[in-house]
Amino acid sequence: MSPMLDGQAPMEAGCAEEGPGPRIFRTEPGDSLQRPEAQQPPTSWAGRWCSRRCSCAVLGALGLLAGVSVGFWLLGLYPGPAASQLIPGTLQDEKTTLSCSEANGKEALPPSLSRTVSFRINTEDFLLEVQVRPLPGWLLVCREGWSPALGVRICRSLGHLRLTHHKGVNLSDIKLNSSQEFAQLSPGLGGLLEGVWQPRDNCTSGQIVSLKCSECGARPLASRIVGGQAVAPGRWPWQASVALGSRHMCGGSVLAPHWVVTAAHCMHSFRLSRLSSWQVHAGLVSHSTIRPHEGAVVERIIPHPLYSAQNHDYDVALLRLRTPLNFSDTVGAVCLPAKEQDFPRGSQCWVSGWGHTDSTRTHSSDSLQDTVVQLLSTQLCNSSCVYNGALTPRMLCAGYLDGRADACQGDSGGPLVCPDGGTWRLVGVVSWGQGCAEPQHPGVYAKVAEFLDWIQDTAWVH
């Protein structure tokens, strides 16, 4: 985690480049022979590749000389304006802070929320409820037409990796108010989620559906700690450390006892390493407490098949563990976003990891750090004075334009989580950025909502 760095000047606002400049991943540096071909040794976990073309450098030098000579002439005629200061600790309005071209990136509209059917599970008795629009209320689900396959699809649509249990519950065994209504799948629809659900005053079978999905998104030992400080055990139980041998390389997020998600570039950078050398550590906050060979050995590395080392698109990978993690108060899974769930810009979310605490350091933090960042619009982050069109639809942006807080080198692959009521959802995977907490260069994350089907299908197949 990187707090705002003192003395950093914001990038000039009118300097649109011909294309997105190079970036540096937020991965621990290692053997240069095993890095992506285009990657240069990073000066910080996010010291993105920022080389200019030679022609641009020459023109820039000539322009600088001309500008200096004119500037000295004008200095005696007109007093210069006072330097503008960004005020730390205040949120900035995207519309008024930058006056740069937005032609390089258009804001992607959120997916249409026109679904006619929504589901939820009562946390007290695990009864499945469905809302059938335009009806306003929530209906208990009759067991008629029910199937385990439908339960799997419902769990997945709610952001869970799998179905763990389902059964029929006798209406005579529970207390219901007199106004409670029910819903039943229409015959012959094959259990489709978007199928026609028929409202009922009662269930002919006398049973309703009870459903349990895989547990996720809870923090049993969560504590109140200000962002940027060391984290107490159990605050982020899904936080994992992905290590090559005994060395921390990247962060990761626990999705299930056998599954961890991280950044694809973490594995691509060291793709020549032996598979048996990779380990995952969960439930720890300090690396100094790790003993040799106590991590979970990685059995399989599955990068997204469309991952691009050139523009960092599809920067996610799944790690299948040889032995399952033991869930406890300090080890647990994070929930995926629900289908078509939209976290709007300005949402306050958290990023955590063992990365550098500022861009000048060369070693990771021994203690797990966390900090609050806000979601920013793709339109803003693709503007000419931020990332100039470098973000794809599989990426999102989070942080602050004044650079007060950010992820840093060593945090790659780690979680960006946002609260959804009492549930925490994995919204982003730390991917890349320019510098650490640099003004006008917030962090860029792989957008988990774009990978839901791939993650769930991959975990199901394997």
Respond yes or no: is residue 265 known to be catalytic: yes
> What's the sign of the alpha-carbon dihedral 134, 139, 142, 147?
positive
Contact 396, 28 (CB under 8 A): no
Tokens representing residue 81 in the block? 């304006």
Tell me the residue type at 52: R
CA distances from 357 to 118, 227, 232, 349, 361 (A): 42, 12, 17, 19, 7
Catalytic residue among 265, 268, 287, 441: 265
Instruction: Determine which one of 210, 241, 364, 412 is catalytic.
Output: 412
Q: Considering 118, 287, 313, 315, which one is annotated as catalytic?
A: 315
Distance CA 114, CA 91 (A): 32
Helix (H), strand (E) at residue 20: none
> DSSP 3-state assignment of 179?
coil
Task: Confirm whether 315 is a catalytic residue.
Answer: yes
| Nearest-angstrom CA–CA distance, 4 and 91 | 14
AA identity, residue 165: H
* DSSP code string of 307-338: --TTT-TT--EEEEESS-----SS--PPBPPP
Tell me whether residue 312 is one of the annotated catalytic residues.
no
Q: What is the DSSP string of 52-89?
A: PPHHHHHHHHHHHHHHHHHHHHHHTTSPPPPPP---TT
Q: Catalytic residues, which ones?
A: 265, 315, 412
